[in-house]
Amino acid sequence: MRWDIFCQIVDNYGDAGVCWRLARALSRLSSSSVNNVECDDSRIRLFCDDLNVLNVIAHGDAVGHGASLGIEVLPWSAAESPAILASVGDVVIEAFACHLPKPYIEAMIQKTSKKAPAKQPIWINLEYLTAEAWADDMHLMSSPQNNGLNKYFYFPGFTPKTGGVLLGDWHEVSSGGVTSSGFKSAPPSLSLVLESCRSRSKKVSVFHYKQAPLDSWLDSVNQAALAHGEMVDVFLCADQNVSVDTQRSLSSVGSAVKLIQLPFIPQEDYDYLLSVCDINLVRGEDSFVRAQWAGKPFIWDIYPQSDLAHEVKLNAFLERYFEGVPAEFRAIGMSAMKWGPASYWWPHLNAWTSHSEAWRQKLIGLGHLEGKILDFVKSQEISR
């Protein structure tokens, strides 16, 4: 089957990150069976309106690297070319309501009318990840279009009624990926900086939005670590907003915190970094999901919205993430997730780590997004 994934960059790297990871995950499954779904003939095309953004997370060359993975990466405009319009996808994924080009939709209609109705492309609107309860009812809801096509809303999520979250190649690229010689070694982009870490130090990765209160947070971490006689190596990913004064303060004699600047690194390398850190500060959707697969404590800087809808979304996740835990630990976790002082939650990092691993096991039990979306496509093929 041919899979066409459409991605428009709204802001930052999240849209490209999710779409690139989905394309890679589907490509990985293209020569295997997942939950009895045979997909030996799958072909993946990814259309993106800003390949420069995609290049940043795809080893500097999304087109070339994609080709090595069996993914054809194309500019958005290519979707209107005669060659593409003559071969529209069997499965069409419209990521985050990005609106397919009109000529491409017309080609989908023509594909349906020229052949049997069973050949209508399976049109999926991949939605943003949410833990809100209404996603259970909306997941896989059909939306018949006036043009005769049918669109399905696919909601990633954290319940059996939703579409799961992307797993991808986590087991191969994280530090838990076992090789014949033992645990997987660090990728080249990280090997030197990891070797520079101090013995027995706590490790923290930071990848947050610019408005995050990192100065005050890092100061509180420094104070908590000093109080417990510990050291903390902090990886600042891709130009985080730490002031000059804070950098100077934390580089002084007697500071427990050591700041380590990192450039943008490929997705696979970033996954490895999350897996070796003791706590991860993440943002948006893609890094948020990777932190959960790491099974480590994390703080989520959700994408801010002017109508404060992000606060509803954050609280919905926290209610689910801390569901069933003792009231004291729940209060500690809630405080940490909302930039509470490190002195409050630092003594409970071990308990938080155990909870994070239990949450990771829950995600495994729910099934990953790429497998579930393949199951759905297969069910549509069978039913028509």
Structure tokens at 25: 């995950």
Q: Residue 343: helix, strand or coil by DSSP?
A: helix
Q: How far is Cα 107 from Cα 234, in angstroms, rounded to an integer?
A: 51
| 245 a catalytic residue | no
Q: How far is Cα 359 from Cα 355, in angstroms, rounded to an integer?
A: 6
Instruction: Report the candidate in 252, 244, 247, 287 with the shortest Cα–Cα distance to residue 267.
Output: 287
Structure tokens at 235: 């990886």
Of 15, 90, 94, 286, catalytic: 15
Q: How far is Cα 350 from Cα 357, in angstroms, rounded to an integer?
A: 11
| 285 a catalytic residue | yes
What radius of gyration, in Å, describes the C-alpha atoms of the chain?
22
Place of tokens 């399976």: 122
Structure tokens at 157: 């999520």
Phi first, then psi, for residue 141 (nearest 5°) are -65, 135
How many helices and strands in the chain, by DSSP H and E?
Answer: 17, 16
Of 4, 49, 90, 285, catalytic: 285
Instruction: Report the candidate in 43, 20, 18 with the shortest Cα–Cα distance to residue 30.
Output: 43
Q: How far is Cα 176 from Cα 275, in angstroms, rounded to an integer?
A: 8
Determine the Cα angle at 174 with ends 288 and 33, to 5°.
90
DSSP 87: T
Strand partners of residue 47: 6, 74
Strand 150-154: give its sheet, edge to edge: 71-75, 43-48, 2-7, 91-95, 122-126, 150-154, 141-144
Q: How far is Cα 266 from Cα 58, in angstroms, rounded to an integer?
A: 6
Q: How many residues does the chain have?
A: 384
In single-letter form, the type of residue at position 151 comes to K
Please list the active-site residues. 15, 285
